[in-house]
């Protein structure tokens, strides 16, 4: 967590990310764009920040070690319902995207996402009714990927419990999670 106090005139952003190198990179990139950036690596660190600061923007990693970033999304939205919250994840699924939006996220982006992607998502917070409703063919691999991530979310991101619920070996599940989603 950063101890520096932000200038209230600036665009205040909080980044909730447990990967220190990625958080540092995002922080520097946003600072170059005129944001004042605070970082937290857990829900506890975020709550400490929120005691003294009122960010207008937030970027939250979905998986914070053993914690779910969804809890942070909920805390941020409760702190200020107008805050623009972007969820980043390497574990994208329809189930977690829906939950993130229900809890107050503005957008949900799959990693790798960069500062341009995040800032564009901040700008699109109102939604777009002209988004095409083209049917998307769903493959078996996509359905499996989404089901695994739904069970993973339901078991609080516990790999062993998820594997048990899916009836597969923990190492098999770990291999499936390490693979990129196939569309």
Coil/strand/helix, residue 155? coil
The reported pLDDT for the residue numbered 130 is: 62
Taking CA atoms, 156 is separated from 36, 53, 96, 97, 98, in Å, by: 32, 28, 11, 15, 16
> Comparing C-alpha atoms, which of 103, 66, 71, 105 is closest to residue 87?
105
Coil/strand/helix, residue 35? strand
Coil/strand/helix, residue 43? helix
Q: Strand pairing of 67-68 and 63-64?
A: antiparallel
> Comparing C-alpha atoms, which of 34, 28, 79, 32 is closest to residue 58?
79
> Angle CA(156)–CA(161)–CA(167) in degrees, nearest 5?
130
The reported pLDDT for the residue numbered 153 is: 80
Q: What CATH architecture is 140-178?
A: Orthogonal Bundle (1.10)
What are the structure tokens assigned to 182, written together? 């196939």
Coil/strand/helix, residue 118? helix
Domain 11-123, CATH number (from 3.30.70.270, 3.40.50.2300, 3.90.1150.10, 3.40.605.10): 3.40.50.2300
Q: What is the pLDDT along the chain (183 residues), one digit of tens a residue?
A: 444 444 454 699 999 999 899 999 999 999 999 999 999 999 999 999 999 999 999 999 998 888 889 999 999 999 999 999 999 987 777 888 888 989 999 998 887 788 898 998 888 866 665 656 566 566 677 777 778 878 888 888 888 999 999 999 988 888 888 765 444
Q: What is the largest CA-CA distance in the chain?
A: 53
The reported pLDDT for the residue numbered 75 is: 96
Taking CA atoms, 178 is separated from 67, 95, 114, 171, in Å, by: 19, 19, 21, 10
All CATH 3.40.50.2300 domain ranges of the chain, comma separated, are: 11-123
**Cα–Cα dist 103/92, whole Å:** 16
All CATH 1.10.10.60 domain ranges of the chain, comma separated, are: 140-178
CA 163 to centroid of chain Cα atoms:
23
């Amino acid at each position: 967590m950063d101890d520096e106090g932000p200038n209230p005139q600036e665009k205040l952003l909080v980044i909730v990310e447990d990967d220190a190198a990625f958080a540092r990179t995002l922080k520097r990139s946003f600072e170059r764009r005129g944001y004042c950036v605070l970082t937290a690596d857990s829900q506890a660190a975020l709550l400490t920040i929120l005691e003294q600061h009122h960010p207008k923007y937030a970027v939250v990693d979905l998986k914070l070690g053993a914690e779910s970033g969804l809890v942070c999304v909920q805390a941020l939205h409760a702190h200020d319902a107008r805050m623009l919250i972007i969820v980043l994840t390497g574990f994208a699924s329809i189930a977690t995207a829906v939950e993130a939006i229900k809890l107050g996220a503005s957008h949900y982006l799959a990693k790798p996402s960069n500062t341009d992607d995040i800032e564009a998502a901040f700008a699109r917070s109102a939604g777009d009714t002209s988004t095409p409703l083209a049917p998307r063919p769903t493959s078996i691999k996509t359905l499996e990927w989404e089901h695994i991530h739904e069970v993973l979310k339901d078991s609080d991101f516990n790999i062993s419990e998820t594997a048990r619920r899916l009836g597969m070996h923990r190492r098999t599940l770990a291999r499936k999670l390490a693979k990129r989603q196939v569309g």
